[in-house]
């Protein structure tokens, strides 16, 4: 059961990363949530985790965070 949950989370993270990369511009949490078909809270958790891993860069704006691809070294 835990392996299935981890695999699903890994798939969502990969899709979220793909959405941000293909957008070609900074994207909001709402944008990613809509395109992933998940809740805002789930999208935020995925994006912040990807940001912590260095795969995305979070930019703090006056409204909320937006995300762009990170450095892939």
22-67 pLDDT per residue, tens: 999 999 999 999 999 999 999 999 999 999 999 999 999 999 999 9
**What single DSSP character describes residue 70?**
-
Question: Over 70: is that where the pLDDT of 72 sits?
Answer: no
CA dist., res. 16 & res. 18, Å (int) = 5
The pLDDT of residue 36: 96
The pLDDT of residue 73: 43
Question: Over 60: is that where the pLDDT of 14 sits?
Answer: yes
Pairing between strand 27-28 and 65-69? Answer: antiparallel
Q: Which domain holds residue 50?
A: 2-69
Count how many domains the chain has.
Answer: 1
CATH number at residue 44: 1.10.10.10
């Amino acid at each position: 059961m835990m392996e299935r949950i981890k695999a699903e989370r890994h798939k969502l993270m990969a899709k979220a990363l793909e959405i941000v990369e293909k957008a070609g511009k900074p994207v909001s949490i709402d944008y990613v949530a809509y395109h992933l078909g998940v809740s805002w809270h789930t999208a935020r958790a995925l994006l912040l985790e990807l940001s912590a891993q260095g795969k995305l860069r979070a930019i703090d704006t006056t409204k909320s965070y937006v995300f762009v691809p990170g450095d892939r070294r």
